[in-house]
């Protein structure tokens, strides 16, 4: 495997007004994203409100997205949790559906030591043939998977990538330095996509690509073509939008933006709530300035 793709969009989960999952809208959104800059999709990740989805809902989402775009794009199942045995069972069930890989978030709340991280991910990897992406997001998990631990995990055959959302560019560079050449390092922060490419990353697992996926592809293509001036210009163009997507808790801004551009994303499950009127005005203003609505 060379890559899952340059841009994997961490897809929002559409809901009906009664808070049930809108599977038809999920299929349509998946098709829209693949037609507009995404090489693949991460389904039921944190942007997909995974914390409030049941395993049954997740599995049906995986199957729905696979049916919609699985022959055209990479479909990655969000199967990680802070319960190793539960993660094993969900990963195995997702594998049976035919997903192309699974993403495993660092265990939250437990705050394991580094050896605990290693044993957690190794235990899951030992029970599946799926290629696995480790997801390091200290801002949500309250613990950081250190480069040395990622380097050890990269020696396991089917642990093939990391989504790095620590915000620490030196840490990302150290992971690139200490892992095999074919180990994939993805940015977990839209605004750091270009810097992470510069230190050896392969792409982005993105929130913003719901809205600006084509432009992000332009930026990555310019970088790969050694047109750094163009890549930097697009980064500067998109930076205000990247910031706007995090004016409040993700996925509140992006799900709102998806609705505003005419795609059906629906409402939020508690404890997430709609944006405030001020936040909504800011999101609308940003989309208007970029000629997106």
- Residue 264 annotated among the catalytic residues of the structure: no
**How many Å from the N-terminal Cα to the C-terminal Cα in the chain?**
38
Q: Verify whether residue 135 is a known catalytic residue.
A: yes
Residue 40: which H helix or E strand, with range?
Answer: strand 40-43
H/E stretch holding 95: helix 84-97
Tens digit of pLDDT at every position of the chain (293 positions): 568 999 999 999 999 999 999 999 999 999 999 999 999 999 999 999 999 999 999 999 999 999 999 999 999 999 999 999 999 999 999 999 999 999 999 999 999 999 999 999 999 999 999 999 999 999 999 999 999 999 999 999 999 999 999 999 999 999 999 999 999 999 999 999 999 999 999 999 999 999 999 999 999 999 999 999 999 999 999 999 999 999 999 999 999 999 999 999 999 999 999 999 999 999 999 999 999 99
Q: Are 189 and 165 in contact (CB under 8 A)?
A: yes
In the numeric block, which tokens belong to residue 132?
């696995």
- Quote the CA–CA distance of 53 and 69 in Å, as a whole number: 21
CA dist 161 and 8 (Å) reads 13
With a CB cutoff of 8 Å and minimum separation 6, the contacts of 5 are: 38, 39, 40, 73, 74, 203
Q: Which of 23, 108, 118, 163 is catalytic?
A: 163
For residues 88 and 96, the answer to whether their CB atoms sit within 8 Å is: no
pLDDT score for 2? 67
Nearest to 91 by CA among 106, 82, 102: 102
Q: Which member of 58, 135, 186, 255 is catalytic? A: 135
Domains and CATH numbers, the chain: 7-229 (3.20.20.70)
CB 95 within 8 A of CB 129: yes
Helix (H) or strand (E) run with residue 205 in it: strand 203-206
Residues 239, 207: Cα–Cα separation, whole Å: 13
């Amino acid at each position: 495997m060379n890559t899952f793709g340059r841009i994997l969009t961490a897809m929002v989960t559409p809901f009906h007004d009664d808070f049930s999952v809108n599977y038809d809208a999920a299929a349509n959104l998946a098709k829209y994203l693949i037609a507009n800059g995404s090489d693949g999709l991460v389904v039921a990740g944190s942007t997909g409100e995974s914390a409030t989805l049941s395993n049954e809902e997740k599995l049906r989402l995986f199957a729905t997205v696979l049916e919609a775009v699985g022959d055209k794009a990479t479909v990655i199942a969000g199967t990680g949790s802070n319960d190793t045995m539960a993660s094993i069972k969900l990963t195995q069930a997702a594998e049976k559906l035919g997903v192309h890989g699974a993403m495993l978030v660092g265990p939250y709340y437990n705050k394991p030591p580094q050896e605990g991280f290693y044993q957690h991910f190794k235990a899951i990897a030992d029970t599946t043939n799926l290629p696995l992406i480790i997801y390091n997001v200290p801002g949500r998990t309250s613990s950081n998977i250190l480069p040395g631990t990622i380097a050890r995990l990269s020696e396991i055959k089917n642990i093939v990538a990391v989504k790095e959302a620590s915000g620490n560019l030196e840490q990302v560079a150290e992971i690139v330095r200490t892992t095999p050449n074919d180990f994939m390092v993805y940015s977990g922060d839209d605004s750091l996509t270009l810097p992470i490419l510069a230190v050896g990353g392969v792409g982005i697992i993105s929130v913003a690509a719901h809205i600006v996926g084509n432009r992000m592809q332009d930026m990555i293509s310019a970088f790969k073509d050694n047109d750094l001036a163009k890549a930097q210009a697009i980064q500067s163009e998109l930076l205000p939008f990247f910031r706007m997507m995090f004016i409040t808790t993700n996925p509140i801004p992006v799900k709102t933006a998806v609705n505003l551009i005419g795609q059906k994303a629906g409402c939020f499950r508690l404890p997430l709530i709609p944006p405030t009127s001020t936040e909504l005005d800011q999101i609308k203003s940003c989309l208007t300035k970029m000629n997106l609505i």
